[in-house]
Amino acid sequence: MPYKRYNDQELTALLKSGDQLAYAEIYHRYHATLYIHAFKRLQLREECRDLVHELFTTLWIKRAEITFKSTLSGYLYTSVRNKIFDFLAKQKLKKTYIQSIQDFAENGLVTADYLVRQNQLKAIIDQEIANLPPRTRQIFELSRKNFLSHQEIAKVLNLSEQTVKTTINNALKVLRTRLGSMFFLSL
Amino acid sequence: MMQKEEINELLQKKQAGNCTPEEINFLESWYAQWNKDLPLSLTEEELFEDLFIIKKMTSTLPAERKFSTLSQKLLIAASLLVMISVGLYFYLHSQRTDYNLALHDIQPGSNKATVTLANGQKYDLKNLTSGVVVDKSGLEYNDGTAINGIGSTEIAAQQLVLATPRGGQYQITLADGTKVWLNAASSLKFLSSFAGQKERRVELTGEAYFEVIHNAKQPFRVISTGQIAEDLGTSFNINCYTDEPLSKTTLVEGSMQIQSLKNTQNVKTVVLKPSQQVSIDAEGTITSRLVNTAETLGWKNDNFIFDGEDLNSSMRKIARWYNVDVVYEPGLKVASTPVLDGLVSRKSKLSEVLKWIETVSGVRFKIEGRRVTVMQ
């Protein structure tokens, strides 16, 4: 798989030219990082899954218009933050979110420089991945390699293959329900 | 103290893109420290499940959205109509295929093989036992029972052929204790005794997994299409079906070497390391890569394991195991057909395997007799 050898900059150039494999490689590199980041903020599984899915959908559809001002990761991290802000604006705010903003308004330190904030965001996300417990970290690594065989996962999670199969079947059920309701909406 | 309404209003402004630079500074600075030091409260299973779902949702490329000068309302109405008809089409279609799959189901392959003696006499082997053993008393089933009609005299010092049909598999322990598992539509030619031989030479067509009893004084060599594989203390798998583009040898444990026979001018020998897979194409070109051996040995453990495998190659495996012919509906874009990831039991009925592929990919299937049609 030569795409694994491309760096982010090369991948963005290929993506812009409509290369589907470049899109797939970007996806493999970043989906787990973005999901973990979003989940730590919102603590909502389904909403964060949808959010990451939407983010990648937008990346593909708008690939020609997007200007990657800094790096690919910079773009993706800013996108996930914007998506989370959008989510907050759309929902009835949870008490914990309000509390957090109120506390910050009282005691927080505002960083005025846009670039400093962007570097800050990257550092936070890197740290989040570095701090994962070892077993979770292994799942993260496997997801990036795009290889999740039942045996491999079972070994990492120290579970029976049957349990892994059940987990996958649950996931497929969730998907079917989603696709089912989408179908219903389209009618 | 900032009020709830005030926060809400600020977030609305942010979404609408109407924030002042100061407000953006404030919100993004808040975001930078929000839940920063919270540990991830997902179990490993939950994280795996979520990543799996996201992967499946994102695995199909989103459709392009382009708005022309046409009124958007009209466009939405038109696309709604398309969505309804496409939805309806797939709905009716899926009903029809499901019906077909269940109605004309096909049982999985099982333990089936024949053994042919040097005089051409062929014996069917029982399907209640999984294998046969060659020993001093001759050829017998691995549960110790005799094979009707074959005595030790009949097989003394001669070449035998163990062959599986499509939809069959069998295991054999050779005279030297080496174990061989034969996949469907495969054959192994071997001597009933290696005594007095310089080497232990066997010939393979199809696919087999070998667990060789190493003996440096009498090397174990497997001859197959275009290559000789020699054991240096080894477990390995060879896949050399004639309908596969590449002949693949995968080393599981130990050490072995492969010699390509195609390129006689420039004889090449490659020594393999565990997990290394060597492929030889029709011209004799050798390529090597590291693989997950669990995937290579999936068949031996009664599984189909697909690791980013394309549909054509996956369907060839299925055709051999269920003894079916696979045809592709004319106009089906093979290049855009999906890549499969995952595991499904080889003990499943054909309909279950096809339904699994339908769920994880976009294609649909029809079973008619022993023919499977792949449809968009």
How is chain B split into domains, by residue range?
110-296, 302-375
**Surface of B (82-101) touching A: CB under 8 A:** 83-84, 87-88, 91
Collect all residues of chain B within an 8 Å Cβ-Cβ radius of residue A167.
45, 48-49, 52
Collect all residues of chain B within an 8 Å Cβ-Cβ radius of residue A157.
44-45, 48
The structure tokens 């030889």 sit at B280
Closest CA to B105 of B304, B350, B323, B346: B350
Does B53 sit within 8 Å of A40, measured CB to CB?
A: no
Cα gap B252→B250, rounded to integer Å: 6
Task: Please list the pLDDT of chain B residue by residue as tens digits (376 residues).
Answer: 788 889 999 999 999 989 999 999 999 999 999 998 888 999 888 888 888 888 777 765 554 433 333 444 454 455 555 554 444 444 444 444 444 576 778 889 999 999 998 888 898 998 788 899 988 777 888 888 888 777 666 777 789 999 999 999 999 999 999 999 999 999 999 999 998 899 999 999 999 999 999 888 899 999 998 888 988 878 999 999 988 888 999 998 888 988 887 765 666 788 888 888 888 888 778 888 877 777 788 898 888 887 777 888 889 999 999 999 999 888 776 545 567 777 788 888 898 889 888 877 778 898 988 999 998 7
The type of residue at B72 is Q
Collapse the DSSP code of A71 into the 3-class scheme (helix H, G, I; strand E, B; otherwise coil) and give the result: coil
Cα gap B176→A120, rounded to integer Å: 66
Q: Which residues of A23-39 are buried (b: 16+ CB within 10 A; e: fewer)?
A: bbbbbbbbbbbbbbbbb
B142: its two tokens: 């691995």
How do strand B131-135 and strand B168-173 relate by DSSP bridges? parallel
The CATH fold of domain B302-375 = Phage tail protein beta-alpha-beta fold (3.55.50)
Q: What pTM, to 2 d.p., does this model score?
A: 0.52
Residue B352's Cβ-side half-sphere holds a number of Cα atoms within 13 Å equal to 10
Cα gap B23→B29, rounded to integer Å: 10
Cα gap A148→B307, rounded to integer Å: 8
Bridge partners, residue B190, by sequence: B160
A177: its two tokens: 């329900």
**Surface of B (348-367) touching A: CB under 8 A:** 359-360
What are the C-alpha distances in Å from B175 to residues A14, A136, B234, B336? Answer: 57, 48, 17, 48
A83-92 LR contacts (CB < 8 Å, sep 24+): A83/A38, A83/A51, A83/A54, A83/A55, A84/A38, A84/A41, A84/A42, A84/A51, A84/B31, A85/B11, A85/B14, A85/B15, A85/B27, A85/B31, A86/B15, A87/A42, A87/A47, A87/A51, A88/B11, A89/B11, A89/B12, A89/B14, A89/B15, A90/B15
How do strand B339-345 and strand B325-328 relate by DSSP bridges? unpaired
Query: Is residue A4 pLDDT above 80, yes or no?
Result: no
Pair B370, B106: CB distance under 8 Å? yes
Opening angle at CA B280, ends B131 and B211, nearest 5: 25
Collect all residues of chain A within an 8 Å Cβ-Cβ radius of residue B47.
36, 136, 139-140
The partner residue sitting opposite B305, judged by closest CB among A49, A108, A149, is A149
> Which site among A20, A163, A168, A185 would you substitute to test the B interface, given the most B Cβ atoms closer than 10 Å to its Cβ?
A168
Q: What are phi and psi of A25, to 5 degrees?
A: -70, -40
Pair A22, A6: CB distance under 8 Å? yes
Q: Which stretches of chain B are DSSP H helices?
A: 4-16, 21-33, 44-58, 72-103, 152-155, 293-296, 311-322, 350-360
Does A40 sit within 8 Å of B40, measured CB to CB?
A: yes
Q: Which residues contact B63 (CB under 8 A, 6 or more apart)?
A: none
Computed over every residue of chain A, the mean pLDDT equals 82
CATH numeric code, B110-296: 2.60.120.1440
Bridge partners, residue B40, by sequence: none
Computed over every residue of chain B, the mean pLDDT equals 82
* Residues above pLDDT 90, as percent of chain B: 32
Give the DSSP H or E segment for A118.
Answer: helix A114-130
What count of residues does chain A have? 187
**Surface of A (38-97) touching B: CB under 8 A:** 39-41, 43, 45, 48-49, 52-53, 56-57, 60-61, 81, 84-86, 88-90, 93
Bridge partners, residue B227, by sequence: B224, B260
Closest CA to B303 of B313, B315, B289, B318: B318
Does B62 contact A at CB distance below 8 Å? yes
B129: its two tokens: 């036992």
The DSSP secondary-structure symbol of A57 reads H
Q: What is the mean pLDDT of residues A80-92?
A: 91
> What pLDDT is attached to residue B19?
92
What are the C-alpha distances in Å from B265 to residues A4, A179, B261, B268, B278? Answer: 35, 58, 10, 9, 20
B82: its two tokens: 């398309």
Cα gap B117→B223, rounded to integer Å: 20
